[in-house]
Structure 1
Amino acid sequence: MKPPQPLRLDERPAIPTPRDIVERLSRFVVGQERAKRALAIAAYNHLKRTALRRTRRQVPIRKSNVLLIGPTGCGKTHLARNLAQILDVPFHVADATEFTEAGYYGKDVELIITELLAKAGHAVEEAQRGIVFIDEVDKIARRTQGHRSGVGSRDIGGEGVQQALLKLLEGREVTVPLDAAPHWSRQEAIPVDTTDVLFVCAGTFTDVFAYAAEGRGLGFGARDGRRRAARAIRQKDLLEYGMLAEFLGRLPVVVQLDELSQEELLAVLTGPPDAIVREVKELLLADGVELAFTDGALREIVRFATDRGLGARGLRGVVEEVVADLLFEAPERRGTRATVDAAWVRRRVDRIDPATLH
Structure 2
Amino acid sequence: MFDELTKKKHRIQDFVYSIPEHTPEELCQLIRDQNYIGQEKALRALCLMAFRHIRRLKKIYIDKIDPASLPKKQNCLLIGSTGCGKTYLVELLFKDLLKIPTAIVDITNYSETGYVGQDVSSIITRLLYASNYDPDLASVGIVCIDEIDKIASSNNSALFAGAGTTKDVTGFGVQRELLKMLESVEIPVSTEFGHSTYGNYFLISTRDIAFIGCGAFSGFKQISGRDTNNIIGFTRNVSLKELNKIAVNYSEAEIENTANFQSYGLLPELVGRFQRIIPFSALNIDEMAVILKKNVIDRYKNDFILDGIELVIKNSVIEYIAKKAIQKETGARGLESVLISHIEDLTFDAYSKKGVKKIVLELKNGEIKGRFH
Q: What SS does structure 1 have at the residue aligned with 2:118? A: coil
Given the alignment of the two structures, is residue 269 of structure 1 paired with residue 292 of structure 2, yes or no? yes
- Give the aligned partner of residue 187 of structure 1: 199
- What amino acid is aligned across from residue 266 of structure 2 in structure 1? M
Work out whether residues 30 and 268 of structure 1, in 8 Å CA contact, stay in contact via their aligned partners in 2: yes
Counterpart-to-counterpart distance in 1, 2:330 and 2:366:
16
After superposition, the Cα gap between the structure-2 partners of 1:249 and 1:214, relative to the gap in structure 1 and judged at 3 Å, is closer
- What amino acid is aligned across from residue 19 of structure 1 in structure 2? E
The normalised TM-score by structure 2 is: 0.79
- Give the aligned partner of residue 43 of structure 1: 50
**In the TM superposition, what are the counterparts of 1:1-358 in structure 2 within 5 Å?**
12-13=17-18, 14-27=20-33, 28-55=35-62, 56-59=64-67, 60-83=70-93, 84-144=95-155, 156=169, 158-180=171-193, 182-209=194-221, 210=225, 213-215=237-239, 218=242, 221=245, 230-232=250-252, 233=254, 234-271=257-294, 275-325=295-345, 327-328=347-348, 329-330=350-351, 336-343=357-364, 346=367
Deviation of 1:324 after TM superposition, in Å, equals 3.2
After superposition, the Cα gap between the structure-2 partners of 1:331 and 1:65, relative to the gap in structure 1 and judged at 3 Å, is farther
Counterpart-to-counterpart distance in 2, 1:265 and 1:62:
37
Deviation of 1:219 after TM superposition, in Å, equals 5.7
Q: What SS does structure 2 have at the residue aligned with 1:72? A: coil
Deviations 1:86-123 (A, max 9, x none): 11211111111111111111111111110111111011
Work out whether residues 80 and 249 of structure 2, in 8 Å CA contact, stay in contact via their aligned partners in 1: no
Deviations 1:222-242 (A, max 9, x none): 88xxxx654442222112211
Counterpart-to-counterpart distance in 1, 2:152 and 2:102:
25
After superposition, the Cα gap between the structure-2 partners of 1:72 and 1:127, relative to the gap in structure 1 and judged at 3 Å, is same
Q: What SS does structure 2 have at the residue aligned with 1:175? A: strand
Deviation of 1:12 after TM superposition, in Å, equals 3.8
Q: Which runs of 5+ in 1 are unaligned?
A: 1-10, 146-153, 349-358
Counterpart-to-counterpart distance in 1, 2:48 and 2:322:
32
Counterpart-to-counterpart distance in 2, 1:344 and 1:113:
55
Could you tell me the percent identity over the aligned residues? 30
Work out whether residues 101 and 141 of structure 2, in 8 Å CA contact, stay in contact via their aligned partners in 1: yes
Most deviating of 338-347 and 188-197 = 338-347
Q: Which runs of 5+ in 2 are unaligned?
A: 1-15, 157-166, 226-234
Counterpart-to-counterpart distance in 2, 1:64 and 1:94:
19
Q: What SS does structure 2 have at the residue aligned with 1:291? A: strand
Counterpart-to-counterpart distance in 2, 1:212 and 1:336:
57
Work out whether residues 45 and 278 of structure 2, in 8 Å CA contact, stay in contact via their aligned partners in 1: yes
Work out whether residues 174 and 193 of structure 1, in 8 Å CA contact, stay in contact via their aligned partners in 2: yes
Deviation of 1:331 after TM superposition, in Å, equals 8.0
- Give the aligned partner of residue 149 of structure 1: none
Work out whether residues 119 and 195 of structure 2, in 8 Å CA contact, stay in contact via their aligned partners in 1: no
Deviation of 1:133 after TM superposition, in Å, equals 0.9
Work out whether residues 312 and 360 of structure 2, in 8 Å CA contact, stay in contact via their aligned partners in 1: yes
- What amino acid is aligned across from residue 282 of structure 2 in structure 1? E
Most deviating of 122-131 and 311-320 = 311-320
Work out whether residues 115 and 168 of structure 2, in 8 Å CA contact, stay in contact via their aligned partners in 1: no
Counterpart-to-counterpart distance in 2, 1:222 and 1:245:
24
- What amino acid is aligned across from residue 79 of structure 2 in structure 1? I
Counterpart-to-counterpart distance in 2, 1:58 and 1:331:
68
Deviation of 1:343 after TM superposition, in Å, equals 4.8
Deviations 1:57-98 (A, max 9, x none): 312121110001111111112211211211121111111111
Deviations 1:256-293 (A, max 9, x none): 1111111111111124xxx1111000000111100011
Work out whether residues 317 and 362 of structure 2, in 8 Å CA contact, stay in contact via their aligned partners in 1: yes
Supply the RMSD in Å over aligned alpha carbons. Answer: 2.6
Counterpart-to-counterpart distance in 2, 1:202 and 1:344:
41
Aligned length, in residue pairs = 322
Counterpart-to-counterpart distance in 1, 2:108 and 2:354:
45
- Give the aligned partner of residue 7 of structure 2: none
Q: What SS does structure 1 have at the residue aligned with 2:31? A: helix
Q: What SS does structure 2 have at the residue aligned with 1:311? A: coil
After superposition, the Cα gap between the structure-2 partners of 1:290 and 1:62, relative to the gap in structure 1 and judged at 3 Å, is same
